[in-house]
Structure 1
Amino acid sequence: MSRARIACLLVGALSSIGCGVSTTPSEVPISEATITVTDLAGREVTLKQPIERIVLIRGRDIYELALLLGEEMRGKLVAWGPDLKAYDRDGYEMFVEAYPWLADVPNIGSIYRDATSVEQILDLNPDLVIVENFMRERSHDSIDRMERAGIPLLFLETANDPLVDPQRSLALLGRILDREDRSREINEFIEARLQEVYSKLDDIEEPSPSVYLEQGARGVATFGWTWTYDSQRRLSCWAAIVGRLPSRNIAVGVVPNLTPVHPEYLLAKDPQLIIFTGANWPTFPDTIRLGYTADPTDARSRLRAYLGRPGWRDLQSVRSGRVHAIFHGFCMHAFNFVALQQLAKWLYPATFADLAPRERLDEFHRRFLPYACQGTWMISLEDKG
């Protein structure tokens, strides 16, 4: 995809936020003021203004809410889902350290188990309940029940197009939370970082390398899932990110999305790069630990353990040291630019030698988040970026 085409897509996606948006006149009493927007499921939604009581069905959306509201979340966030603590323990600990009151925010049950308590949410009388499109696409009963009950749902999208959707979600949240200037500043930073990659794509002359992606959660003995096309024939999650770079994902067209490849198929394809994703997933003790509290020596040791899989030491990616791991959550949050920059450096190290994704991640934290960046977010077999 050419640089101009990518830029047009990004501008179009971001400028579409606010289409069909209307607000009540300024003379309307504040207690009766509303705003009408089109959410990212295409639904027209009318919300009270100002928004004073917020529920996060997916706890991990705290990243985006904190980017816009910071300490002003206190008193506004009245409940959230448990998934931040369950699937991003490092992030949970950092947020609770920055905002100790978060530890006491009520848990409304896991949407991933379709166990969200609709009754509890009704009792909280929220002005805004933030949900994600995947919850509707997976036909969660709790989402249907909330819609039927008239609960003010706002659907966001973060991972269908992981290099565009987080910005669209931030722009929409900025609109309804009266933080448009803040969301615009953040999105401009993100787009500038993405353009540091897009601006050089047309200069690449090397053949596209073959790539294998795996979620490194379950350890060496069990092949984790990979990413290909979703049910709507869109490249999903990490497949979409690597797909923005000249590359050949060996799983596309071979296995369904979110399923593992067959070990013998991987050996036969002999990919030029292998890229795992990792995080602090407490339910998976053998995961490749990456994130705020990850230690580089431990992370590299966990990555090296995969070389013990049958036949792997003969793979060209292993012999050349092109086996890497990167923080899984980059594919669903506003620091998506880190994923693209790091993958670009791994796929085309000469072309993108000047990129510094870790330094950009540190800068993003300094400017927009309530705590400094620390830990290990990407790792390679060799002690280099």
Structure 2
Amino acid sequence: MKKKLFAALVGALCYVMNAVAAPQVIEDVLGRQVTVDVPAKRVVLGFYAEDYMAIGSEKAFDHVVGLSLDTWKGWRPASWSLYTQHRPSLKQIPDVGEVEAQTFSIEKVLSLNPSVVVLADWQFKGLGADVDVLESAGIPVVVVDYNAQTLARHVNSTLIIGTLTGEDARAQKMAKDYENSITYLQNTIAKAGLPKPRTYVEFGNKGPNEYSFTYGKNMWGAMISAAGGDNIAAPFVEWWGPINPEQVLASRPEVIFIAGTESSKQPDAMLIGQGIDRKESVERLTGFTTRSGWDSLPAVENKRVFGIYQGASRTIMDGSMMQYLAKALYPQLFADLKPEQNYLNFYKQYLPVIPQGTFAVQMTD
């Protein structure tokens, strides 16, 4: 009996010790050495909310005390609605404002007494000297980055969040699965030795009547390059921004991707995502092919025009979207891949909700 009691006490003590945060030096994606008590108990989260939950599990949000609400509720309202229906307590997390809109409040963050602030690379750069205010107050700031859309930063960011949430093993599996998926795509393409298809991508939030953002080195631009496409915007757009419509016509893309979300102020914008019917996505996508001069583009002539979900980029979940890009670019190499189903499978495996809708579509669907 005494041995059993002793064993039980030891087990309880180990559980308590494991639950207590301990200082650890974390190297973030910028190479900064940051000392953080992990697992983190009071977290202000600037971006990548779904990634934080997927990697750290839902219980990680028990310790999120502040959130940049616009980066979730404002940018992806359908996703926010889905999660808050499942977990109403998300609505009670204080909003700290949004960096791009210049509403991010350092005072609000300080008032929440966080043990760590987790920022995207673009948020860290946007805040500038305000980061010094946080660090001077003894609040560690850790930078992660899925926007760059590089394998190294995706893997590194995932492992960092795993450490912050005390879910190292879960993060390592997720990062390894992602790395294996990307490596398989790239090795298959390299082995085939096929010409790189000329490719154009655009965020279709403004509809067919006005050219919106395309991408150079990051986000969809980086993903297209990684998936073996020849991004026609790369020589003209460094990160993201509009391109001259005449340049698109002159470049004669062989494959076109139009990214979209579930909602837009423009009535003819690309519509795709949670709750969106496939037929409606196809109709919106087809509308872009009526642009002046597009009827003679190889991509339109051969019906290689695709719709992709903006919410499935800049996240550890975008491995499935990389599969979709690769399959659209090299259909003969990846006929057996089911990227859209794999996207939903990630939710089934790692997240407490599963969205329904359309997340990737071709004009012939």
Common fold, TM-score beyond 0.5?
Answer: yes
What does residue 24 of structure 1 align with?
none
Aligned length: 350
Q: Structure 1 residues 180 and 103, CA, compared in 2 at 3 Å: closer, same or farther? A: same
Q: CA deviation at 1:73?
A: 3.3
1:211 to 199, 211, 219: 199
Residue 117 of structure 2 corresponds to residue 129 of structure 1: yes
User: What stretches of structure 2 of length at least 5 have no aligned partner?
Assistant: 1-15
Q: Is the 8 A contact 1:86 1:283 kept in 2?
A: no
Deviation at 1:333, TM superposition (A): 0.5
Structure 2 SS opposite 1:355: coil
Could you tell me which residue of structure 2 aligns to residue 173 of structure 1?
161
Whether the 8 Å CA contact 1:35–1:176 is kept in 2: the answer is no
Q: 1:115 aligns with which of 72, 97, 103?
A: 103
1:75 aligns with 2:62: yes
Change (3 A) 1:280 1:143: farther
Partner of 2:316: 334
Aligned match of 2:170: 182
The yes-or-no answer on 1:39 pairing with 2:28 is yes
Gapped regions of structure 1 (runs ≥ 5): 1-26, 229-234
**Alpha-carbon distance change, 263 to 348 in structure 1, aligned in 2, over 3 angstroms:** same
In 1, Cα distance between equivalents of 2:51 and 2:163: 13
The one-letter code of the counterpart of 1:329 is G
Partner of 1:103: 91
Hey, what's the Cα distance between the residues in 2 that align with 1:282 and 1:140?
Answer: 31
Structure 1: distance between partners of 2:306 and 2:117: 37
Other-structure match for 1:299: 281
* CA RMSD in angstroms, aligned pairs only: 2.3
Pick from 350, 353, 356: which aligns with 2:332?
350
Question: Is the CA contact (8 Å cut-off) linking 1:236 and 1:257 kept in structure 2?
Answer: yes
Query: 2:205 is paired with a residue of what secondary structure?
Result: coil
Task: Provide the rounded CA distance (Å) in 2 between the counterparts of 1:257 and 1:65.
Answer: 25
Equivalent residue number for residue 62 of structure 1: 49
- The structural deviation recorded for 1:158 is 1.0
Give the alignment of 1:219-234 within 5 angstroms. Answer: 219-228=207-216
1:133 CA drift (Å): 1.3
Residue pair 2:44, 2:118 contacting (<8 A) in 1 also: yes
* Structure with the greater alpha carbon radius of gyration: 2
Aligned equivalent of 1:17:
none
- Residues 277 and 141 (structure 1 numbering): CA distance in 2 closer, same or farther, change over 3 Å? farther
Change (3 A) 1:28 1:70: closer
Map of 1:314 onto structure 2: 296
Task: State the TM-score, normalizing by the size of structure 2.
Answer: 0.89
Q: Is the 8 A contact 2:21 2:39 kept in 1?
A: no
C-alpha distance in structure 2 between counterparts of 1:200 and 1:32, whole Å: 44
Per-residue deviation, residues 197-219 of structure 1 (Å, max 9, x unmatched): 12312332432211111111111
TM-score by length of 1: 0.84
